[in-house]
Every structure is written in C-alpha cells, then in structure tokens.
Amino acid sequence: MKINQAAHTYGVTTKELISELKARFPGQKFTANTDLPEGFERTVQEQAEEYAQVSDITLPETTGEITQADEDAIVDSKTQECYHYGILEAVARLRSEDFALDGQLSAIEDVQTFRASYNEVWTLFHQGEITQQELRSQGLSERMEAIATKKTELGKQLEQRQQAQVSIETTQQQLKDKLASLMA
C-alpha cells in the first residue's frame, strides 16, 4: 500500500501521514507514492480496534476504506480518532529496516522485470535472425535446385549434340566411302 492510498483509506491527509513518518525516520525521504511496509494495514486496523474497545466506540464494518465513496470526510470524528491512533501506533512500530527491506524487494522486482524484458527482447531478436536465416537457406536451396535442373537440361543438350555430331561424322564417312567407291 502506498502512503497516499493509506491516507485516503484512513481519513488523514497524505501530508499528515508523511509528517508522522518523517518524524519517526528523519533520515529518509517519503513521497505520496512511497510503499509502506507489509503489515502496516493490519497493524493500523488492530490498533484502531483496540483503541475503539478501550474507548467504547463501534467502528464501521471495514470495506477497505472508512471514507464515503463520494466525499473525503470521515464517517465521524470518533472513527477518525480510532484510525488516527492506529496510524500513530503503526508508524511507531515501524523500523527503518522495514523500509529498507521493502526497498530491496522493490529493487529486486525491478531487476527481475528488467531481466525478463531484456531476455524477451533478445529472444525476439534471435527468433527474427533465425527466421531470416531460414528464408536465406530456403532461397539458396531453391536456387541450387534451379541450377541442378538447368545442369541436367544442359547435360541432355550436350549429349544430344554429341549424338548429333557422331551422327554427322558417321554420315560424312559414309558419304566419303560412297564417293570413293563411285570414283574407283
């Protein structure tokens, strides 16, 4: 849950919640989009309920937000008081290690997302290269088949020429022989 979501959920301003966090952790920077450590919501709810029991206040059923859907005001000041106490207690129980751990986990998630995206880009690139190589290979195969077919045709033509040459030479020899026999 982010700070601005928690503020809206529990009926405080984002500025108030950031002020409480800065007071507890003066060395850290907080923005409306800073993630709160896991378990913050549960701690606020538990502390608000405990405060409500001690103060004899009935909290509304929790629906994830204690504000009206169409207005930013809290249902009543007693409920606001309970949740404000819950926020103060939850902030008091936080440790700077919680923020550091959340930051580290967030960084790890970012690195994993980056690596997955990086791998996906390279996979797509290599698939494209493989596809181009397959197309080139297919083109070369088709050209080689065309060359082989042409070679076969040229071989047949050469064989026919040789047969024609032999036939011509045979016919010329026969004519020479007939001419020689006629002249003798």
Q: Is residue 177 part of a domain?
A: no
In the listed set 57, 77, 94, which residue is the last one of a domain according to the structure? 94
Q: Are residues 123 and 158 in the same domain?
A: yes
Q: Which of 58, 38, 36 is nearest to 49 (CA)?
A: 58
pLDDT for residue 38: 75
Six-digit token string for 28? 């850290």
pTM: 0.45
Phi, psi of 136 (to 5 degrees): -60, -45
Domain extent for 73: 3-94
Structural domain total, the chain? 2
Q: Are residues 34 and 106 in the same domain?
A: no
pLDDT 10s digits, 124-161: 999 999 999 999 999 999 999 999 999 999 999 999 99
pLDDT 10s digits, 44-67: 888 888 888 888 777 766 555 554
Q: How far apart are CA 79 and CA 77, in angstroms?
A: 5
Q: Are residues 80 and 108 in the same domain?
A: no
* Cross-strand bridge partners of residue 161: none
CB 91 within 8 A of CB 24: yes
Q: Which of 9, 1, 17 is nearest to 74 (CA)?
A: 9
pLDDT for residue 99 is more than 80: no
